[in-house]
Amino acid sequence: MLVIRSLIFFIGYATLTILYGSSTLLIWALPKTTRHKFITSWTRVIIAWLRIVCNIQYQVVGREYLDPSTPMVVLSKHQSAWETILLQGLYWPATTVLKKELLRIPFFGWGISAIRPIAIDRSNPRAALKQVKLQGTERLNDGLNIIIFPEGTRVASGESSTYARSGADIAVSAGVNIQAVAINAGECWPRGFLKYPGTITVKISPPISCEGSSSKTLTQTAKTWIDAEMTKMGSPLKK
């Protein structure tokens, strides 16, 4: 059943991505807010489809710390593709920092282009950092939250990696708060094809002020909080 459910989910995921990606080509003349709403509706449908087919639920702890009236920089744990989908809706309106190669993927890349991502060239770190700070500040001034996965790539469940300081650099430059997010999605949606039933926990920190702090200190504060919460969470898999 695990294989069958994962296959059904994949078919639905691919179909919805093709439909939304194709439709995105028709909405570029619409206002930015409308485009964001349209693409974010795709993320909500995918999360619902995953719940229905694969029995992957989720719970949000610390929802009271979300403040849609104040743009911020979100530093999130990155174990899975799941959080890249969920956070777009949870922090709407939001955009994300990603590798530019993702924009070349047919349908998926077309759709994500509509939410004005910060697409960087990871082979040129110095230029990427300048781009992230400049475009990140522009997006914040436009009222968008910035979602960043400071580990830079997916890290296996139970492991932690070095955090890049680019997200904190943006927050310091723009004078906005940081919010740390711990997510244990890696066991339910690991690398590969299979999806495993369970309840994913999304833990949101209180806002972390950048006032009087360096980007190095802010990054370490977020990492320490996330690592501690990840230790408390345990496995999300259904028993």
Tens-digit pLDDT profile for the chain (239 aa)?
A: 899 999 999 999 999 999 988 888 787 778 888 888 888 899 999 999 999 999 999 999 999 999 988 999 999 999 999 999 999 999 999 998 888 888 888 888 878 887 788 888 877 777 877 888 888 889 999 999 999 999 988 998 888 899 999 899 999 989 999 999 999 999 999 999 999 999 999 999 999 999 989 999 999 999 999 999 999 998 999 86
Residue 42: partners with Cβ closer than 8 Å, 6 or more residues away: 16, 17, 20, 111
Collapsed DSSP state (helix, strand, coil) of residue 216: helix
For residue 99, give both structure tokens.
């590798």
Total tally of structural domains belonging to the chain: 1
The letter for the amino acid at 191 is R
Question: Which pLDDT value is given to residue 127?
Answer: 80
Question: Which pLDDT value is given to residue 239?
Answer: 67
For residue 167, what is the domain's CATH number?
3.40.1130
Identify whether 116 is part of a domain: yes
Identify whether 163 is part of a domain: yes
Identify whether 238 is part of a domain: no
Q: Strands 178-183 and 198-204: what pairing?
A: antiparallel
Please report how many Cα atoms fall inside a 13 Å half-sphere around the Cα of residue 190, on the Cβ side.
12
The letter for the amino acid at 111 is G
Identify whether 201 is part of a domain: yes
Question: Which pLDDT value is given to residue 75?
Answer: 97
Q: Which of 89, 75, 97 is nearest to 181 (CA)?
A: 75
Separation in Å, CA 133 to CA 37, 73, 75, 215, 216: 25, 11, 15, 12, 15
Residue 58: partners with Cβ closer than 8 Å, 6 or more residues away: 47, 86, 199, 200, 201, 202
Identify whether 56 is part of a domain: yes
* Rounded Cα gap, residues 239 and 49, in angstroms: 21
Question: Which pLDDT value is given to residue 100?
Answer: 85
Identify whether 78 is part of a domain: yes
* Rounded Cα gap, residues 31 and 113, in angstroms: 14
Identify whether 217 is part of a domain: yes
Domain that includes residue 103, residue range: 2-233
Identify whether 111 is part of a domain: yes
Q: Are 154 and 192 in contact (CB under 8 A)?
A: no
Q: What is the largest CA-CA distance in the chain?
A: 54
